[in-house]
Chain A
Amino acid sequence: MDAIILQILNGLDKGSAYALIALGLTLIFGTLGVVNFAHGVLFALGAFCAVAIQGLFSTSFETIDETRTDFLGNPLKVQTPYVEAWFGETMGGVLLDWSVPIAILLAVPVMALVGLAMERGLIKHFYKRPHADQILVTFGLAIVLQQIIKYFFGANPIAVPAPDVFQGSFDFGVMLGFDPFTIMYPYWRIVYFGFALAVIAAIFAFLQFTTFGMVVRAGMADRETVGLLGINIGRRFTIMFAIAAIVAGLAGVMYTPIVAPNYDMGMNFLVLSFVVVVVGGMGSLPGAVLAGFLLGIIESFASMSAVIELIPGINQVIIYLVAIVVLLVRPRGLLGRKGVMED
């Protein structure tokens, strides 16, 4: 029982990331009709916003301490972070400690700009081209962006810790009446799950309760008619692209304490997120969220050693198996609109 609860919890944080990325993908596909293979790298860009903020806060100047020596026996060059020199040691330490949440402030404008530049600069020219062309050009863009990240940050993962107050784990087991240390769950993953829910809620509220959102929804349903009503739907869709990029970026920022980011982290998520979109139903926002959490949890269960012993390697393929079954039984996906991808 405790093992099952643990795997559900485990699935929730992975599912949160899948859901956020898939939500962005669906927003883009639903509005612009573009299959964006660069979406995974947007997730990675977000993560590297956190790395950049951490790097910025740890940028130091050198003073030479004659009393100590370095590894070569020369006088030790002591590194003092600028933030500590400017804001005092305590405040500087707090800034560095909280660099992941602070990185959100950087990620929002950066991701919005990247999203706008991508859409206006490149993807716009591919609206009327077949999906295959869109996939090729966005995939190419993803490779370019990935290599840019690698150029600046190297190939090894860079640890970006969560703030001290969120270090360690919460003992769910004790709360539910199990022995201590049976169900441990890191605080930061709880934060991540909550954060994902908040972002998802915000997106749905935005689409549901604002005029802008209403127009976008109308445009998703029937772009031509909305256009005929004299509404510049194209501009709104561009903004939606930027919002989708922000969502992916935020998912990336907050994910950094869970898995140390490296330059190709986006690709792993990209493929899985596409499966999530397909399972949830192309163009269906609730479907993307539902399928994200569902597949996260299924993947977690498939990684249990009892399951792997039964069917070796199942953890590697389970998501694709689910996708195959869904496509065979219900080609439009779990919550997909009738007719989408069924012709």
Chain B
Amino acid sequence: MSNRFTRRGVIKTGAVAGGALALPTIFTSQARAFTNEPTGDTVTLGFNVPQSGAYADEGADQLRAYELAVEHLNGTGADNGMLETFKYADGSPTALTGNGILGKRVEYVTGDTQTNTDAARASARSMIEKDGATLITGGSSSGPAVAVQALCQEAGVIFMAGLTHANDTTGKDKRANGFRHFFNSYMSGAALAPVLEAAYGNDRKAYYLTADYNWGYTTEQAITEATEAMGWETVNKVLTPVGQGDFSSYITPVLQSGADTLVLVHYGGDMVNSLTNAVQFGLREAQANGKDFQIIVPLFSRLMARGAGENIKGIFGSTNWHWSLPDEGSQAFTRSFGTKYGFPPSQAAHTVYCQTLLYADAVERAGSFNPCAVVEALETGDGLPGIDSPSNTGFVFDGLGNGPTLYRAGDHQCFKDVLVVKGKEEPESEFDLLEIVEVTPTEQVWYEPDHPQFAGGQLGECNPGA
């Protein structure tokens, strides 16, 4: 009689037994209505920000804002920040009471995007699969934003984008599970053009140095189209590698090209370096075509302005938000952030704080963490008053620092006022670097979802996963 306990037999039995043991968890995960449905008394949010790489300072500021948002949502902060000022279109306060989200205490995990598409996807995936995050949010570059948004769509969680300015995020790469509070390239062009025309006239020859990735392309396109419409001529467009360091060999041909205006489509460290080079090579003192030479930086941030130092003075650009805005929401946020950290928040911090509150409120209104319910909550509403367009529908809110704002149902892009700013000539403090030149009203930066700069993508259906 052979021994019944053969090695093969034991392994087989083990495998069957293991499978049987695993079955209940398989069933429970199938029983969930959607990916990462929170079952306990807490809910986990995933903050995916650059903690290393070129935009790490932006990422660090985002994390500070997230921490503050979590404190405010849980009611454990020193004050309630913008929870106090956040309200609906009819002026009524939101459902957020400082009691977590749907009564569940908010917890969070963080990931490092490294400002790199692959790393951003990997950290988002890990937070979804390992930590059970119901929301992925954050980031400071459009490359990773588009990649993570697509991942969240497949995984069935909501993505609330951080600082991403390329048209693509809510244009050709838009996804039903993804939402962007930050403004975009088109809006920068539309807001900047009239200010530039007033300051520099309508007879200018512009030279573009453009960061070689999706944000650079859409921003260059938006600014050229907006300025050419008012009579400017585009002399040359040159793509520059990200992380170039010394831009001198790109800067020196500018004066010989016949251009009298340089548009630097660079962000973060690249912008600091290219602007510094341009100033060093005397562009700001130069004369061309009988005019003073001018430099324009379409997307500004205060963190960048700090890096560029003196060189930023008098240069026009656009920004999503600035701490010196006088409205109630901006003041509440600046006070709350400034008291906790000792310096004012950046636009990167502001946008992610807003995104966290907007998500929490949408869940409250939907009564569920189900991504499809959240999408519906953010898509439902009458739209902004004063804008006559069939696409003007979606959730409208106010009190988060940019005036009445629409989350447009058609493409999940926020529509709100855009700030045109200028490097301040005489700063009163180390934070006082940008001066608000104009608050461009929403009507002026409005476009239809099928605008050529955004065409090509489909929002598709929301995906609850599971």
Residues of A that sit less than 8 Å from B by CB: 2-3, 6-7, 10, 13-14, 70-72, 76, 150, 154-159, 161, 168-169, 171, 180-182, 184-186, 188-189, 257-260, 262, 265, 268, 299-300, 303-305, 308, 315-316
Contact = CB atoms under 8 A, between A and B. Distances in A.
Given A71-B432, A161-B310, A316-B241, A299 B249 contact: yes
A99 to B, nearest CB: 13
A10 B252 contact: yes
Contacts of B303: 156
Nearest to B280: A186
B53 interface: yes
Interface string B260-283: 000000001100110011001111
Contact of A184 (B56, B255, B257): B255
B307 A156 contact: yes
B53 A155 contact: yes
Q: B53, B246, B248, B323: which has the most chain A beta carbons within 10 Å?
A: B248
A3 B282 contact: no
B334 A72 contact: yes
A156 B282 contact: no
15 contacts: A2-B256, A14-B246, A72-B335, A154-B57, A156-B54, A156-B304, A157-B272, A157-B273, A159-B307, A258-B280, A260-B269, A260-B273, A303-B249, A304-B253, A305-B253
A90 B144 CA distance: 48
B252 A6 contact: yes
B249 A71 contact: no
B460 interface: no
A90 to B, nearest CB: 20
Contacts of B432: 71
B346 to A, nearest CB: 11
A156 B286 contact: no
A155 B236 CA distance: 32
Contacts of A180: 287
Given A182-B255, A305-B238, 19 more contacts: A3-B253, A10-B248, A14-B246, A71-B429, A76-B429, A155-B55, A155-B56, A156-B56, A156-B304, A159-B276, A159-B307, A159-B311, A168-B282, A169-B280, A181-B286, A258-B280, A260-B269, A265-B245, A304-B253
Given A169-B280, A259-B276, A159 B309 contact: yes
B122 interface: no
B238 to A, nearest CB: 6
B90 interface: no
B344 interface: yes
B431 interface: yes
B30 interface: no
Contacts of A168: 282, 285
B103 interface: no
